[in-house]
């Protein structure tokens, strides 16, 4: 790490410890683990914001290079913004902020305030990019517009999700309604987009609405590819020698339930097996970045297995937002 940055983190760790223990001297042994936590948080934050920036510029290219010049629309909050841009005198950048704002307020209560703030930053950056960056109009062929406009928009949404934020707030509404109603997240998103495309057919034309459906399908498949599935839940299995610290972090810091399996390691020294607890928990894909950051703080060498969970019932995940 850069010597200046390393010194900055050490000074920050020392000041934080001095505030906690006013009358006691701070030792190097106390500073080292705190500095390591700061390093993990900083490296993960940089990686996540790089994903968000790439996502924003990709979505901006999809919008201004393909959809906007040809009066096309998409699904979700972006589709609502594009529809309003066609029937009002407001600029798309402003509409993206206004349309997504209620969803982001909901996100602060449903998911977490940190997630909502990151999403506000991502959407604000997208609004700036759409308003100020001049992208070339790539083509006037309607099929190419629908396919590649959807691809770049989906790439942008997916990369933003990899960074722990969203640039389309309707997914937050879908998560919220799925907890209140006997519907899956996919069902809620489908209903929202049916309404958007129906209004688009009425305001613009049936042909544009049909192309919009194609744009939405391409974008959804691209998001699938980027974030390894549009399913909301991810089952995470963690194998680590620091299993007790990880259990405490998941249950007390992140407010997530977990299951402990009694396991045996099969690749021990001298060919002997050894006892090892295995942790299993389920998080939403939007919470996955936070979980990985916290795991890295405790054990960088933890063996983590992630698998898509189509849906679930019961437990704490639908009742409490991640702390």
CATH number, domain with residue 270? 3.30.70.120
pTM (2 decimals)? 0.73
- Residue 303 CB partners (closer than 8 Å, separation 6+): 238, 239, 240
User: What would the DSSP string read from start to end of 287-310?
Assistant: THHHHHHHHHHH-TT-EEEEEEE-
Q: Are residues 145 and 266 in the same domain?
A: no
The angle formed by the CA atoms of residues 96, 103 and 224, to the nearest 5 degrees, is 80
Q: Are residues 135 and 170 in the same domain?
A: yes
Number of domains in the chain: 2
The pLDDT value recorded for residue 41 is: 82
218 burial class (0-12, 13-18, 19+ CB within 10 angstroms)? buried
Q: Is residue 7 part of a domain?
A: no
Q: Is residue 24 part of a domain?
A: no
Domain limits for position 146: 45-227
Q: Are residues 256 and 110 in the same domain?
A: no
- Integer-rounded Cα radius of gyration of the chain: 23
Q: Are residues 126 and 172 in the same domain?
A: yes
Q: Is residue 34 part of a domain?
A: no
Q: Are residues 181 and 221 in the same domain?
A: yes
Q: Are residues 131 and 239 in the same domain?
A: no
Report which DSSP code applies to 269: G
Q: Are residues 276 and 213 in the same domain?
A: no
Please say which residue of 206, 227, 248 terminates a domain.
Answer: 227
Q: Are residues 218 and 267 in the same domain?
A: no
Q: Is residue 174 part of a domain?
A: yes
Please say which residue of 227, 248, 268 terminates a domain.
Answer: 227
Q: CA 97 to CA 60: how far, in whole Å?
A: 14
The HSE-up count of residue 198 (CA atoms within 13 Å, CB side) is: 6
Q: Are residues 68 and 200 in the same domain?
A: yes
The pLDDT value recorded for residue 247 is: 93
Please say which residue of 174, 203, 227 terminates a domain.
Answer: 227
Q: What tens-digit pLDDT sequence spans the chain (323 residues)?
A: 677 777 777 777 777 776 777 677 777 777 777 778 878 888 888 899 999 999 999 999 999 999 888 888 888 888 888 888 888 888 888 899 999 999 889 888 888 888 889 989 999 999 999 888 888 888 889 899 999 999 999 899 889 888 888 888 887 888 788 777 777 766 787 888 888 889 888 888 888 889 888 988 888 888 877 865 445 688 999 999 899 999 999 998 888 889 999 887 776 565 566 678 899 999 887 788 889 999 999 998 899 999 888 666 666 665 566 66
Closest CA to 282 of 307, 319, 247, 245: 307
């Amino acid at each position: 790490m850069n010597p200046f940055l390393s010194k900055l983190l050490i000074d920050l760790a020392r000041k934080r410890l001095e505030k906690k223990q006013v009358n006691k001297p701070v030792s190097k042994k106390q500073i080292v683990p705190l500095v390591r936590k700061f390093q993990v948080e900083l490296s993960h934050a940089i990686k996540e914001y790089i994903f968000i920036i790439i996502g924003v510029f990709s979505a901006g290219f999809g919008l201004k290079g393909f959809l906007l010049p040809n009066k096309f629309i998409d699904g979700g909050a972006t589709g609502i913004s594009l529809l309003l841009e066609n029937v009002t005198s407001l600029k798309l950048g402003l509409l993206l902020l206004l349309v997504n704002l209620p969803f982001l307020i909901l996100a602060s209560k449903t998911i977490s305030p940190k997630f909502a703030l990151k999403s506000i930053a991502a959407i604000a950056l997208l609004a700036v990019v759409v308003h100020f960056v001049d992208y070339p109009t790539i083509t006037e062929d309607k099929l190419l517009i629908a396919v590649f406009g959807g691809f770049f928009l989906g790439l942008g949404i997916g990369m933003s999700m990899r960074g722990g934020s969203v640039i389309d707030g309707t997914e937050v509404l879908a998560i919220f309604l799925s907890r209140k109603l006997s519907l899956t997240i996919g069902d809620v998103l489908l209903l929202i987009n049916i309404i958007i495309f129906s209004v688009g057919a009425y305001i613009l034309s049936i042909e544009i609405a049909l192309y919009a459906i194609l744009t939405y399908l391409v974008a959804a498949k691209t998001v699938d590819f980027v974030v390894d599935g549009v399913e909301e839940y991810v089952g995470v299995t963690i194998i680590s020698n620091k299993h007790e610290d990880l259990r405490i972090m998941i249950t007390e810091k992140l407010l997530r339930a977990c299951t402990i399996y009694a396991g045996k390691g099969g690749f021990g020294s001298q060919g002997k097996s050894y006892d090892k607890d295995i942790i299993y928990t389920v998080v939403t894909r939007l919470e996955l970045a936070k979980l990985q950051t916290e795991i890295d703080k405790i054990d960088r060498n933890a063996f983590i297995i992630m698998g898509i969970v189509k849906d679930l019932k019961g437990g704490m995940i639908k009742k409490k937002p991640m702390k």
